[in-house]
Chain A
Amino acid sequence: MSNGFRSVHPSVALLYYVGLLLFATLLFHPLFLLTELAAVLSLLLLQGQGRHLLRGLPFYLLMAGSVVLWNPLFSHRGSHILFYAFDQPITLEAILYGLMMMLVLLTIMFVFISYNFTMTTDKFMYLFGTVAPKSALLILMTIRFVPLFQRRLGQITLIQSSRGISVSSGKLRKRMSDGMTLLKVLLTWSLEEALQTADSMKARGYGIRKRSTYGIFKLDRRDIITLICLAGSGMLTLIFSMQGYGMVEIYPRLKTPVYTGGDAVMYGSFCMFLLIPVGLEIKEKWLWRSFERRDFPSVIPIKKGPHYMTSRSR
């Protein structure tokens, strides 16, 4: 289930996604944004999330597309007035700004899809647990309760409906009070069980010592190298960005972007940052491809095609 970028240590993945979000908001430049979008998209496709992406695409496009529409209607900053709509000046700057915002939004949404796929809850909780063990424990216990309560509420609803307490029939007022009754049953039942859970925790020595954390994740050599590369290229990009590179000025007046050597170096390190996970995925794909192709070097040669009985074996 976990291969390629999904198999890296959670801290590496977290660094990558934090970097992606940071750059998406920080680097307000069409080239950088488009590159990032393309990188995230290819990562998603390589991770086999194409179908998932496709299902949500109309929604994402609607969300992001509306910004392109609304921004010029509400913002009239900028000096290049193209035309008037409803007596409002529509400026070139506002349209471009809207387009850029759309790119930012799309990138962020895609980053989150990939994040949800790569960083599962247990990975996040593992990282969180090393920073704040007590709160992490609390959150984990709470997370467990959500599906548990759902299942219990289903049972309660079914049984209580056989004594006339149901939210699907009767007047609104009765339905509401019945709903409360159902929740009350759930609450009393769960509190009853929570007492036993507390006993079980106490019996297993909860709270007598400082807790340690058991991790199922190991930071191996590949993870460390990936971490260093990501951190290095990310830092470089960040430093350049603070120097003012990789920025397009739209408001108050659109300026033609000037490309310098600094921009090129920054773009290079940015690309490196983006493509490391993509590279990992591709490597994984390649690995399995060649693995499946390879003939088995065993004593008995494997025959292709249908097997016939030879005269000898007959």
Chain B
Amino acid sequence: MVLCGPSGCGKTTLLRHLKRELKPVGTCEGAIWYKGQAMDELTPQTAAEDIGMVFQNPEAQIVMDTVWHELAFSMENMGYSPTVMRSRLAEIAGLFGLEPLLYKPVHELSGGQKQLLNLASVLLLRPKLLLLDEPTSQLDPVAAREFIHMLHRLNEEMSMTVIISEHRLEEVFPIADRVLLMEEGSLKAEGTPSELVQRIGHEEQQKQLSYLPTASRLFLALSPPEERVAQQSIPLTVREGKRWLHGQLALLKNYGHESAVENIVTVTDSFRKEQETLLKCQEVTFRYQKEGPDILSKLTLNLYRNEVLTILGGNGAGKSTLLYLMAGLSKPQRGRITLAKGVTAGYLAQNPLLYFSQDTVKEELLHMARYAGLSEADSQREIAKLLDIFQLHEVYDSHPLDISGGQQQKVALAMVLLLTPDILLLDEPTKGLDPGAKERLASLLKLLREDGKSIVLVTHDVEFAAKYATRCAMLFDGGITAEGPPDVFFSANYFYTTVVNRIVRDWLPQALTIEDVT
């Protein structure tokens, strides 16, 4: 069962009500029944054993410092005997492939491994019902897919009931039995994935449309309304999408008159000559420790005025490190990073909490303005302008830790912007955002770009990069292996490309987004 809906619609609250130990404080009406028994009447032991829950943040859920101890923790709580613990641990470690990690300290694991550890640790109590609160929102796509596959396996092989709330529905949607769409604390729609697609397609609501998997959205965008109702099976995956499209090629707009790839390349080349270079990385080599491996080696990259450059790459490829260096937070051992004259760079880290040190948002912004050397009147004007752009008026007087994650990010971004940088360096700005918030972020970036700023984004989000970037670069093995405008960049890739491109590439190799096709 999949729960979806925008941030703050009550998904977490609902899940927490299903887990008795974590029931939120407040007034509560109505009743929840578990196996014909009221939730409040369960013994503490069944409540803890039968219902397991995994949360959003992989790091914060971990209690112990080594993997085996973390796994044993929940069983120790239940007071199992050592023999029971040993056999269960062996079983789960085998299922999850955790044996090589068993004696490792937890902080050496990657985010995906941590989240798998959390899941394994909950499963050791053999729950009948598994609750997951946006478990993949902090993971990169590969780790997220692995996690979802594991859930699918548990559901298939052990017939475990899984309730998951998610923003990233591309993988979860096709394997779900039931999808619930929530909005503002109430159930908006419910049904099998196909039913839900049909209903949302019928109502034509743009907001809810963004929750559907791409294949379904493509289907809704292309097929004429009268045909939608007749269609029994709605494509949910790339394979189904491709199969459906095969019979409907006439629907594709540009099919038949393809734009030549070479044209685009020459256009971008001339574009580049006109634009001035803001930042130059020349053969940059960097490592963290003397004996450590090279994170970046002989990397060369230029950034031009007025562009959105996305840097893609696998986990640990050194994307964040590159941003660090560009921001001047550390120096490369070899090579040079030069900013054009009078150009400054502002850096926004993944975790906005790092930026906050004052008691209210207002003080944060004022402090930053003082540091930027703005006069009293100037800073008032600048702050007012930023508050308008970011719609932060209602949180202006609250504590930065009391506001939502998306708002925290905006405040941090506003703080960076007070320094009036010409280059903005953003580290994974789309992580954990729901589709609506992503679109708002994109329009924000567009606004900033029109303001004459260049933006460098580091991201895992291929769809986002394809839609909003002007140039993409692939970081691999310490260097830039490929770069180009999104259509050229992605159509050259086979696997690392958008879902739409994977569906339509046989007919329209350049199309990346739904807008490109219709």
The interface of chain A, by Cβ under 8 A from chain B, is 122, 140-141, 143-144, 147-148, 151, 155-156, 158-165, 181-182, 184-185, 188-189, 192-194, 196-197, 199-216
In this complex, what residue of B is CB-closest to A147? B107
Which A residue's beta carbon lies closest to that of B329? A158
> Nearest A residue to B59 by beta-carbon distance?
A193
Interface bits B355-377 vs A (CB < 8 Å: 1, else 0): 11100000000011001000000
Which listed residue, B57, B324, B349, B357, touches A181 by the CB 8 Å rule?
B357
Task: Find out whether the CB atom of B82 lies under 8 angstroms from the CB atom of A148.
Answer: no
List of B residues within 8 angstroms of A194 by Cβ:
60
B interface residue numbers (CB < 8 A to A): 19, 21-22, 44-45, 48-49, 52-53, 55, 57, 59-66, 68-69, 72-82, 85-86, 89, 106-107, 118, 121-122, 125, 324, 327, 329, 347, 349, 351, 353-357, 367-368, 371, 401, 415
The 8 Å CB contact of A200, one of B61, B324, B329, B401, is B61
Smallest Cβ distance from B20 to chain A, in angstroms?
Answer: 10
Contacts of B122 in A (CB 8 A): 203-204
Contact (Cβ within 8 A) A199 B22:
yes
Residues A140 and B21 in contact, CB atoms below 8 Å apart: no
Rank and list the top 7 A-B pairs by shortest CB-CB distance, nearest first.
A205-B48, A214-B72, A196-B60, A144-B65, A204-B74, A200-B61, A164-B371
B21 closest partner in A (C-beta): A202
Cα–Cα distance between A205 and B62 once the two chains are bound (Å): 14
Q: How far is the CB of B197 from chain A (nearest CB, A)?
A: 33
| Chain B hits for A148, CB < 8 A | 107
A206 touches B85 (CB 8 A): no
**A192 and B21 in contact (CB under 8 A), knowing A144-B64, A208-B48, A212-B76?**
no
Known: A140-B69, A158-B329. A163 touches B76 (CB 8 A): no
Q: Are A203 and B22 in contact (CB under 8 A)?
A: yes
Contact A193 B19 (CB under 8 A): no
Contacts A147-B107, A204-B73 hold; do A163 and B371 have CB atoms under 8 A apart?
yes
| A155 to B353 Cα, complex, angstroms | 11
Instruction: Determine if B107 and A151 form an interchain contact, defined as CB atoms under 8 angstroms apart.
Output: yes
A212 touches B79 (CB 8 A): yes
A159–B65 CB distance below 8 A = no
User: Does A211 lie within 8 Å of B79, measured CB to CB?
Assistant: yes
What are 9 residue pairs bridging A and B, where the CB atoms are less than 8 Å apart in the complex? A164-B371, A184-B357, A203-B53, A205-B45, A205-B78, A212-B85, A214-B82, A214-B85, A214-B89
- Specify which chain A residues have a CB less than 8 angstroms from the CB of B78 in the assembled complex: 205, 208-209
Shortest distance between the CB of A105 and any CB in chain B (Å):
33
**Across-interface contacts of A216 in B (CB, < 8 A):** 68
CA distance A164 to B373 in the complex (A): 11
Could you say which of A147, A197, A211 contacts B77, with CB atoms under 8 Å apart? A211
Report whether B79 and A165 are in contact in the complex, using a CB–CB cutoff of 8 Å: no
Distance between Cα atoms of A141 and B61 in the complex (Å): 12
Q: Which of chain B's residues have a CB closer than 8 A to the CB of A213? A: 76, 82
Shortest CB distance B51–A (Å): 8
CB distance from B418 to the nearest CB of A (A): 9
Q: A210, B89: Cβ atoms under 8 Å?
A: no
Does B329 lie within 8 Å of A163, measured CB to CB? no
Cα A158 to Cα B347 with chains together (Å): 11
Evaluate whether A197 and B327 lie within 8 angstroms (CB atoms) in the complex, with A189-B353, A204-B48 already known: no
Q: Given the interface contacts A162-B327, A196-B57, A215-B82, does A155 sit within 8 Å of B63 by beta carbon?
A: no
B327 in contact with A204 (CB, 8 Å): no
* Nearest chain B residue, comparing its CB with the CB of A125: B69
A163/B61 in contact, CB under 8 A: no
B59 to chain A, nearest CB (A): 7
Among B69, B72, B107, B329, the most chain A Cβ lie within 10 Å of the Cβ of B69
State A206–B32 Cα separation when bound (angstroms). 23
> What residues of B have a CB within 8 angstroms of the CB of A151 in the complex?
107
